[in-house]
A and B are shown apart, each in its own frame.
Chain A
């Protein structure tokens, strides 16, 4: 939490506290208003333009909400929402459970500081690999013909023919989800592991003396400290999952059919394959508004910093 900044006491010859504050405030606003104002305008202009694009045709005639009704009347839109929801349902619990499991594992089992530090660095690395590069890696694993996964499975003898990881809807969804899980489980691990470090050792030792199992220990002590972190992780990962584009575009392009056409790929297709600017703008506006509402609702419930 940010501590309140102390109000400077009078250092110069006689000023009342009030006049000093307004002097500082004036300076603050002089600097802040132009910069913040410019940024605010730059951020709001696209939103305004999107609204304008969504209610006019390409040559500027006003057509009201027709683009919105077309966007909502397109069944592919709901397919995209469903696909995104399914993706989130697969990815989020898996990442959290795996990350938690690994955090607990390392916390309990690995005591050597050197090893822990190495694991820390190793966990950081997948987080910063550019999503296009991760998409390339995934292609090299799942693609038909040159994908190494089929090769390994066949060599080891688990399967005897090529599995079409990218050609069967369920498998393709699994493939793109697996990429997300691969890249972001370390994030969950890092956060929860740090959280576990804050659990007071005395409580743990007391519990162990009482003979608690690892499960009891977790449920009654550690979980208490991790709970706020879970919410935050969910918050940030959910936001990322709704925005995901790069690696899905590279790995499946939305296919097979529209099985992995998540929301962002759907909007991309409407704007840059069908060139339906009005409908794309309507979708963009709807997405922006929904996210703003979601954001303001969620931040009320979360332990974010408050000054």
Chain B
């Protein structure tokens, strides 16, 4: 009698069914419950791990004591943050109330329609104390420069505001020489001061974003570019190849071994430990490493200037602002907007600077009383005023930067000649842009 009784069978099925259906419910309840009440108790910020979000993490405590709202900062390394934001937006998830975005990511998020407009939804207006370029970089579609074909009909809106006023600058050991004005000066100084264990120039050569950020100002200063105003690829032009040759052959001679693996932290560390003469630099590295007394041996010996001029006669600095935006999926939009406004208030920004933050207000950058503690302010103010260049405003920037950055890395490593590298990158980028319906 192996037959199961009907009652037993029903009972067993019911138990199993109940278990299987209640298990998910139970487990889902273990997750966050997002409140839709007007005043949330918590805001979640997706941030980039590194020097850029350090000051943010330090000031959110003040926000909590002032408003009672806890701001949780969830960190990711650079490339992972971009992936994480895109996948979260694709899932239309409400996990993040705010997100830190590198400005080249704006086009992708703007094209995806993933962010809430700050001007029309939350009443943000342009403050005259904040450089215009900051608002421009957070606006989609972009107010100047080429606009992707699919975005050309859209109304412009402000989607993000800078909280890390990163503009790429130049640093050199001022105790050894005066400031270089052109890249030829840079090269001459590199040759002159290069010594064992003291690199004439430090290249941030790691693949994709690091080497891309490091090399674009040089590319532009020599008259080269990734795209022209009609989205035609320019990487294999003579000017571009000359620029790449300058960096990966000429400056490389006086650069550190293993440049193809160096990222920003290594570069700053080399400077901070007195092993390097000059390099490009981001303000975040300055406050975090080079001018940090607990780890730096060169405090007071380094000077900061805008990017030197190239043969084109201009030194083109590069925007690398980190913006705060509000994802569409967030259920606490108003509270998030309030937090952004709080960050922008002058007093709070001064406090932020004291914690190592990079400000964007001209009044703070030009404040003489802060100049001594923040030796880069003058150069940063000058860089903003010169209107720095920004990276191409395309939603395909991820693929473009990966192709360009991988090819540049190969050139820095000596695996490819500058010409071969740029032709390879140009070919890959043309394929990507064509598949994305850009003009070619």
Direct contact of A and B (CB under 8 A): yes
Within 8 A of B (CB), among A165-205: 166-169
A168 to B269, CA, bound (A): 23
Known: A167-B413, A272-B87. A162 touches B258 (CB 8 A): yes
Minimum Cβ distance to chain A for residue B199 (Å): 13
Which residue on B lies nearest to A76, using beta carbons? B428
A23 to B4, CA, bound (A): 9
Which residue on B lies nearest to A143, using beta carbons? B261
Is A24 part of the binding interface, using a Cβ–Cβ cutoff of 8 Å? yes
A304 to B410, CA, bound (A): 46
The binding surface of chain B is classed by DSSP as: helix
Which residue on B lies nearest to A75, using beta carbons? B428
Is the CB–CB distance between A24 and B2 below 8 Å? Answer: yes
Is the CB–CB distance between B398 and A274 below 8 Å? Answer: yes
Is B25 part of the binding interface, using a Cβ–Cβ cutoff of 8 Å? no
A291 to B65, CA, bound (A): 57
Known: A144-B258, A162-B257, A257-B409. A70 touches B435 (CB 8 A): yes
Please indicate the chain B residues that have their CB under 8 angstroms from the CB of A257 in the complex.
207, 406, 409-410, 413, 415
Is the CB–CB distance between B398 and A256 below 8 Å? Answer: no
Of B1, B260, B262, B406, the contact of A12 (CB 8 Å cutoff): B1
Is A164 part of the binding interface, using a Cβ–Cβ cutoff of 8 Å? yes
Which residue on A lies nearest to B436, using beta carbons? A276
Is A269 part of the binding interface, using a Cβ–Cβ cutoff of 8 Å? yes
Minimum Cβ distance to chain B for residue A58 (Å): 9
Please indicate the chain A residues that have their CB under 8 angstroms from the CB of B9 in the complex.
30
Counting chain B residues whose Cβ lies within 8 A of the other chain, the interface size class is 20 to 34
Is the CB–CB distance between A273 and B2 below 8 Å? Answer: no
Which residue on A lies nearest to B112, using beta carbons? A275
Is the CB–CB distance between B409 and A255 below 8 Å? Answer: yes
- Give A3-29 as 1s and 0s: 1 = Cβ < 8 Å from B's Cβ atoms: 000001000100000001001101100
A258 to B258, CA, bound (A): 17
A272 to B410, CA, bound (A): 22
A237 to B1, CA, bound (A): 47
Which residue on A lies nearest to B399, using beta carbons? A274
Please indicate the chain B residues that have their CB under 8 angstroms from the CB of A161 in the complex.
257
Is B129 part of the binding interface, using a Cβ–Cβ cutoff of 8 Å? no
Within 8 A of B (CB), among A15-57: 20, 23-24, 26-27, 30
A30 to B13, CA, bound (A): 10
Within 8 A of B (CB), among A257-303: 257-258, 269, 272-276
- Give B1-12 as 1s and 0s: 1 = Cβ < 8 Å from A's Cβ atoms: 111100001000
Is B402 part of the binding interface, using a Cβ–Cβ cutoff of 8 Å? yes
A166 to B2, CA, bound (A): 64
Minimum Cβ distance to chain A for residue B180 (Å): 27
Is the CB–CB distance between B398 and A273 below 8 Å? Answer: yes
Is B338 part of the binding interface, using a Cβ–Cβ cutoff of 8 Å? no
A161 to B196, CA, bound (A): 11
Tally A residues with Cβ within 8 Å of B.
Answer: 30
A23 to B258, CA, bound (A): 72
Is A145 part of the binding interface, using a Cβ–Cβ cutoff of 8 Å? yes
Is B83 part of the binding interface, using a Cβ–Cβ cutoff of 8 Å? yes
Is the CB–CB distance between A167 and B258 below 8 Å? Answer: yes
Of A145, A164, A269, the contact of B260 (CB 8 Å cutoff): A164
Please indicate the chain A residues that have their CB under 8 angstroms from the CB of B266 in the complex.
144-145
Within 8 A of A (CB), among B242-294: 257-258, 260-262, 266, 269
Is the CB–CB distance between A274 and B402 below 8 Å? Answer: yes
Is the CB–CB distance between A23 and B261 below 8 Å? Answer: no
Is B79 part of the binding interface, using a Cβ–Cβ cutoff of 8 Å? yes
Which residue on A lies nearest to B435, using beta carbons? A70
Known: A23-B2, A27-B3, A257-B413. A164 touches B257 (CB 8 A): yes
Which residue on A lies nearest to B269, using beta carbons? A145
A8 to B2, CA, bound (A): 10
Of B4, B257, B258, B402, the contact of A269 (CB 8 Å cutoff): B402
A23 to B83, CA, bound (A): 55
Minimum Cβ distance to chain B for residue A59 (Å): 12
Is B86 part of the binding interface, using a Cβ–Cβ cutoff of 8 Å? yes
Known: A144-B258, A164-B257, A255-B409. A273 touches B415 (CB 8 A): no
Which residue on B lies nearest to A58, using beta carbons? B90
Please indicate the chain A residues that have their CB under 8 angstroms from the CB of B258 in the complex.
144-145, 162, 164, 167
Is the CB–CB distance between B402 and A166 below 8 Å? Answer: no
A162 to B120, CA, bound (A): 56
A144 to B207, CA, bound (A): 14
Which residue on A lies nearest to B83, using beta carbons? A272
Within 8 A of A (CB), among B71-90: 79, 83, 86-87
Is the CB–CB distance between B406 and A166 below 8 Å? Answer: no
A276 to B43, CA, bound (A): 31
Known: A144-B261, A164-B257. A23 touches B410 (CB 8 A): no
Please indicate the chain B residues that have their CB under 8 angstroms from the CB of A168 in the complex.
413
Please indicate the chain B residues that have their CB under 8 angstroms from the CB of A30 in the complex.
4, 9
A275 to B86, CA, bound (A): 8
Of B1, B2, B399, B410, the contact of A256 (CB 8 Å cutoff): B410
Residue of A23, A26, A257, A258 with most chain B CB atoms under a 10 A cut-off: A257
Given contacts A12-B1, A161-B257, A257-B406, 12 further A-B contacts (CB under 8 A): A8-B2, A24-B2, A144-B258, A144-B261, A145-B269, A164-B260, A167-B258, A256-B207, A256-B410, A257-B413, A273-B399, A275-B86
Interface residues of B (CB under 8 A from A): 1-4, 9, 79, 83, 86-87, 206-207, 257-258, 260-262, 266, 269, 398-399, 402, 406, 409-410, 413, 415, 432, 435
Nearest 7 interchain pairs by C-beta: A144-B258, A12-B1, A272-B83, A257-B410, A274-B399, A144-B261, A164-B258
17 A-B contacts, Cβ less than 8 Å apart?
A: A20-B2, A24-B2, A27-B4, A70-B435, A144-B261, A145-B266, A161-B257, A164-B257, A167-B261, A169-B415, A255-B409, A256-B261, A256-B410, A257-B413, A272-B87, A273-B79, A273-B398
Interface residues of A (CB under 8 A from B): 8, 12, 20, 23-24, 26-27, 30, 70, 143-145, 161-162, 164, 166-169, 253, 255-258, 269, 272-276
